[in-house]
Amino acid sequence: MPNNWFQFQQFRINQDGCAMKISTDAVLLGGLAGGKNPQNILDIGTGTGVIALMLAQRFTESQIDAVELDELAAKRAKNNFSESPFSYRLMIWEGAFQSFEPNKKFDLIVSNPPYFQDHLKSKDEQRNKALHTDALSFADLVSKVSKLLNAKGDFWVILPSRQMMELIEICSKIGLFPNRKFLVHDKPGKKVIREIVCFSFLKTELVIEQIFIKSDNGVPHFSYKNIVKGFLLEFT
């Protein structure tokens, strides 16, 4: 997206200078992740703050904390929060998630985490932080989440299939189990490009659903429109 800002129906995201711009991944996670009226929500690796803002719009009584390692992204998120209608319910904490020590637990935790482990890195250190797991391994992510998540809370993550398989294995070792999975396709008949999974401490039967970004004719699919309506300008 070439613009330095992105306009949603109820808020605007300034993403000038940030390594990771607003993506379909973030919008899908922000539109899907949820629980039973979560009061305290945590967004890990908030970037420009889009997921946190979408959750603030959806859950009108929630308090939302967002963690971001990159200094510029954290600054952008803070400004985006302050200029939104939900500013009084949003807080940004800059630093490594491993060092985040809140005085509460969370009903809902979400993350669109970095997942590259063995890929060649670019000269852009901001982008490396956003894409590679050096600063936050899956093991570190899950270990910390298990300490911060309420006993009846939900942990939502979006990843490619191979990395999601790895995350599910790590989660299972500490007692976090997948109970809902959304398989994201570009179009019907195409391969899965992302998986969105909800984990909890309660082991239940896994429910799997499909999401298609576009229909065969190229127009937005109803499964995608149902998630983003109320957020993106073209889907009222």
- Whether the model pTM is above 0.95: no
Structural domains of the chain, with CATH? 5-228 (3.40.50.150)
pLDDT of the residue at 216: 95
pLDDT of the residue at 165: 97
How large is the average pLDDT for residues 139-143? 96
Residue 232 — pLDDT band, cuts 50, 70, 90? very high
Residue 1 — pLDDT band, cuts 50, 70, 90? very low
Q: How far is CA 102 from CA 67, 78, 110, 123, 234, in A?
A: 11, 18, 16, 34, 38
Residue 3 — pLDDT band, cuts 50, 70, 90? low
Which two structure tokens, joined as six digits, stand for 111?
């993350």
How large is the average pLDDT for residues 25-52? 95
Q: How far is CA 143 from CA 74, 139, 180, in A?
A: 23, 6, 20
Identity at 178, one-letter amino acid code: P
Query: How far apart (Å, rounded) are the C-alpha atoms in residues 213 and 186?
Result: 5
Residue 11 — pLDDT band, cuts 50, 70, 90? very high
Residue 18 — pLDDT band, cuts 50, 70, 90? confident
Helices 50-58, 71-82: inter-axial angle, 10-degree rounding: 30
pLDDT of the residue at 93: 97
